[in-house]
Amino acid sequence: MKLHKTRILPATPERLDEAVAILRQGGIVAIPTETVYGLAANALDPDAVARIFEAKGRPPQNPLIVHVANITEALRLTAQWPREAQLLAETFWPGPLTLVLEKRAGVVPDITTAGGNTVAVRCPDHPVALELIEKCGFPLAAPSANRSNHISPTQAEHVAKSLGGRIELVLDAGPCRAGIESTVINLTGSNPEILRPGSISAAEINKVLSGQPDLSDETNGTNRDTGKVSPERNPNFLSPGLQKTHYAPDTPLLLTASSSIAALLARLSRENKRVGVMMITLSDVKTSANFKVVQMANNPLGFGAALYSALHLLDDAHLDVIVCENPPDTTEWAAVRDRLQRAGTSVD
């Protein structure tokens, strides 16, 4: 792999042109989206896409999301465009919803889709990402811009920390608004199925697909109508990126009920442990000087927006352990709970 001096530069019009030039030459650039920063390359150029896999250390069997500027572009990449796709794209694009569809033969190379016959498409809701796709004139494959199995980046600095030396340019547009990756929904089966909970909730999707199968049960891994098993329960499922541990910080992360956090922190304090604490509910928990406390929002959107930044911050603070209160077990919190459970271990 070619080594680079990684530059973080504000996403000004000149830098955008520079990024377009790199992408046209088959290079890779880290770009902002509304969810997390992505590591972008020409989705239709197998050599360019290979550079993404190499820089991330991503296993070749994990397919990439292809970012498009609009529905017309998605139609060029897909073999079928079912009614659900049209409804969902009209409602949520540009936005954090990824649609898995049958792929059109001979357009998207195998490496992008990990050899599968489906393609994941999404139109990002970020002016920089959209302008890049439009100026390039080709769709951009872009996984989250982190080394494989590390925490996703919601700031340009997170990208540089993880991929520094492996990429030449990070376009900086400040912190990502949503902070949690897109919802991935499979539209190739007999019923729509959420493969990865994300910024758009099952309830929002159900509202649009009303009369269609109910997806609100995605958190327990089963689709209520079909009884289908979600990727968490079936490791051979078609979305191989969804292994159990996927977003883990280096520092162990313990998830605990609000009712038990005080006792856990008291014990860690007695043991003189250096502890990072992600608090949701306000509480009068006594913390010692060894504790670094981050107050998280008590709502899923606010929590989600700050989740990865908090994990990056605490993971960099050389602590023994990070403790996070478990969010409520309700569907609005599904995406946040999913990411926390992948990153940590429940202790009660």
- The continuous run of DSSP H or E covering 20 comes out as helix 13-24
CB-based contact 218:230 (threshold 8 Å): yes
Report if residue 183 touches Mg ion, rule: CB under 5 A.
no
Among 42, 78, 182, 309, binds ligand TXA (CB under 6 A): 182
Q: Pick between residue 31 and residue 209 the one whose CB is nearest to Mg ion.
A: 31
CA 307 to CA 315: how far, in whole Å?
Answer: 12
CA 343 to CA 314: how far, in whole Å?
Answer: 13
CB-based contact 176:34 (threshold 8 Å): yes
* Count of CB atoms situated within 10 Å of the CB of 204: 17
Smallest gap from residue 144 Cβ to ligand TXA (A): 4
Among 19, 28, 32, 33, binds ligand TXA (CB under 6 A): 33
CA 312 to CA 320: how far, in whole Å?
Answer: 14
- The continuous run of DSSP H or E covering 10 comes out as strand 7-10
Per the listing, tokens 């017309």 go with: 72
Tokens standing for residue 110: 């195998």
CA 57 to CA 80: how far, in whole Å?
Answer: 32
**Minimal CB distance residue for Mg ion:** 144
Report if residue 248 touches ligand TXA, rule: CB under 6 A.
no
Report if residue 162 touches ligand TXA, rule: CB under 6 A.
no
Report if residue 230 touches ligand TXA, rule: CB under 6 A.
no
Smallest gap from residue 144 Cβ to Mg ion (A): 3
Region from 17-25, 46-54, 83-91, 137-145 binding ligand TXA, contact rule CB under 6 A: 137-145
Report if residue 121 touches ligand TXA, rule: CB under 6 A.
no
Q: Pick between residue 196 and residue 228 the one whose CB is nearest to Mg ion.
A: 196
Per the listing, tokens 């409804």 go with: 87
Among 144, 188, 223, 239, binds Mg ion (CB under 5 A): 144
**Minimal CB distance residue for ligand TXA:** 241
Chain residues that interact with ligand TXA, rule: CB under 6 A: 33, 35-36, 38, 62-65, 96, 98, 100, 113, 116, 118-120, 124, 142-144, 181-182, 184, 195-196, 238-242
Chain residues that interact with Mg ion, rule: CB under 5 A: 144
